[in-house]
Homo-oligomer: A and B are copies of this chain.
Amino acid sequence: MLDHFHGKDTWEIVERDDGFFMIGAGPDLYFAPFEEWREPEQKAMSHVRGRVLDIGCGAGRVALHLQGVGHEVVGIDISPAAVETCRLRGVVDARVMSLEEVDSSVGTFDTVVMLGGNLGLLGDQERGRRILTRLDGSTSNDALIIGASRDRTGSTDPDIVDYFSKNLAEGRLSGQGRIRIRYRRYVTPWFDFLRMTVDELRRLVAGTGWRLQETIRSDDTLYVAVLEKDR
């Protein structure tokens, strides 16, 4: 995200473990002001309350918006360059921290946001359940998790359908993608990024301290899920 390409627009490249490559998100998404967000993400912001944890804060679009309307926000991202970008753009509290490192040192939150597909960072069923259980402990009694994913079932794209079948045959969730992100000579480690149907999300969440309260859908595969405490 830093200006390594002399101000030219740049996009991340997504490499899947079967040799499938695609162009990921670019500055249009990462730097989008609120008015340019997808509608389900805009609508979901009306649910945000109190102190906010922004997981995978990227270039800070969500943190900046929520700060701007008066919330105290902590943004975390495992990318030092993303966190530096957040700080340069005015995010007051941005930290290099993984989703798995969230503990009492960052305090207690009333809302956790995982927009931009960041529900995918739950990774797989086991990791997802572990993370949600921990987030239960880091949040207030009436806290919400607001997260975006994509429901790819119904796709006829052979590069998606074949991979889904392979996943199911290997006992993985259908939309579990083992990927790494490339940009110029940079490359991340391999990680699982999880796309879920709403039903899969509902099942994954069960027993973690959370339950699905509402989903906000778009006219394509994108949806935003609102999770509330399950008490």
Contact = CB atoms under 8 A, between A and B. Distances in A.
B19 A185 contact: yes
A190 interface: no
B21 A184 contact: yes
A101 to B, nearest CB: 28
A18 interface: yes
A13 B21 contact: yes
A6 interface: yes
B13 A184 contact: no
A11 B11 CA distance: 11
Interface in A1-46: 5-6, 11, 13, 18-23
Contact of A21 (B19, B22, B157, B182): B182
A159 interface: yes
A20 B157 CA distance: 28
Across the A-B interface, the 7 shortest Cβ-Cβ residue pairs:
A21-B182, A20-B185, A13-B21, A159-B184, A19-B185, A20-B184, A11-B23
